[in-house]
Structure 1
């Protein structure tokens, strides 16, 4: 896939390694190698790239500070020796988070992820509009069938072989597995944890890897964080 990228990193050895990996494993165009954030800003005023390999710990202006100055739609691959910034990175349009030193195996995995993202994005632009989603369904709880409006659901919580469906006014216990429920749902519902499916429309805020819905605080697990943050980025200004 012919993608355009650039590297922003103040460490020459890290830049050289990324350049080598790009040339050995991809058909991407490396348009620029910038050794500080201000140089990168000047370049981006003149040219567009599909995504940026961005270091975090840089002098004068850090990678996170640079990310905050770029348009929200700018695609980023953070490259850093510090794992503690991972959660903060997903506040931006982050495609991946690479820990230094970047290995060939890890870089190749990133290539697959990045190219899959852009391929899906390209297909999506030509895809026909999906049919309108259902607005309600029926839930059997005990001997009763309850009609539930999808917009009223706050979240689903798995409890072994049961699922608890929670709205603002009621809770229903259903003899189903969470995976079965997930297969019947589409956006704005998204799996965020082994035990939770949430209604994105009901989220009030996200903080420190937790989602807040009404008075409930729901954790986001590592396994589901990336698709969740992708959904968030689609709604960011």
Structure 2
């Protein structure tokens, strides 16, 4: 696949290794090599690339600090010798997280993931097409048909053939699959996990690859992370 990229890393040996891997195993165009974050900011203002390899530990500005200054849509493959930054990387449009020293085997795995990402082979990245556009709907729970305002819903939690609907005041058990409910919802509702659909208007923060809604801590799975972050980035300063 023909993709363009840039490497941002203050270690020349690390840059040279990635460049060699790219040249020997891909058809990607390496448009630039930057050895500090300030140089990278200038380069990326004038050059468009599909994604960047970004080291985290750099002088002046760290990779995380640089990522926060880039457009939210910037696709990033983080590279670092430290695993503790992995959770923070999910706050950005992260495709992969490579731990140094990067082996050829690990790079080839990343290559497949990157090309799959840009090939749109991941159905969960496609935006959910709304089937309804109402501010309420009716839920049958037991023998009761109950009216629910969409604005009051915190999240849906799938439990095999059932779905638990959680509002600020009550919980209802619905005999539906989570996938069926997902197909009837649109923004601000987003699937974030095989077991969860959340109302983004109700979340209070995103931290350590988890969403906080009321007193509930909900995990974000890799499968649905990009769709969720795309929704969040629409309202990010």
**More off after superposition, 156-165 vs 30-39:** 156-165
Where do 1:39-188 residues align within 5 Å?
A: 39-120=39-120, 133-135=132-134, 136-159=136-159, 162-182=162-182, 184-188=184-188
For 1:204, what is the secondary structure of its paired residue?
Answer: strand
- Give deviations 1:4-34, integer Å, cap 9, x for gaps: 2110112223212211222233222101122
Bigger relative CO (Cα 8 Å, ≥ 6 apart): 2
CA distance in 2, matches of 1:114, 1:234: 23
For structure 2, list consecutive stretches of 5 or more residues without a partner in the other structure.
121-125
CA distance in 2, matches of 1:119, 1:50: 12
CA distance in 1, matches of 2:72, 2:98: 20
Q: Which residue of 2 aligns with 1:217?
A: 216
Give the direction of change, closer, same or farther, for the CA distance of 1:168–1:117 in structure 2 (3 Å limit).
same
Q: Which residue of 1 aligns with 2:225?
A: 226
CA distance in 2, matches of 1:211, 1:44: 31
4+ aligned runs moved over 6 Å, structure 1 = none
For structure 1, list consecutive stretches of 5 or more residues without a partner in the other structure.
121-126
- Give deviations 1:104-145, integer Å, cap 9, x for gaps: 34333433333344444xxxxxx9xx5663424432211122
- Give deviations 1:48-69, integer Å, cap 9, x for gaps: 3222111011223221222233
Q: Count how many residue pairs are aligned between Structure 1 and Structure 2.
A: 230
The CA RMSD over aligned residues, in Å, is: 3.1
TM-score, with length taken from structure 2: 0.79
Give the direction of change, closer, same or farther, for the CA distance of 1:168–1:222 in structure 2 (3 Å limit).
closer
TM-score, with length taken from structure 1: 0.79
For 1:86, what is the secondary structure of its paired residue?
Answer: helix
**More off after superposition, 198-207 vs 218-227:** 218-227
Q: Which residue of 2 aligns with 1:28?
A: 28
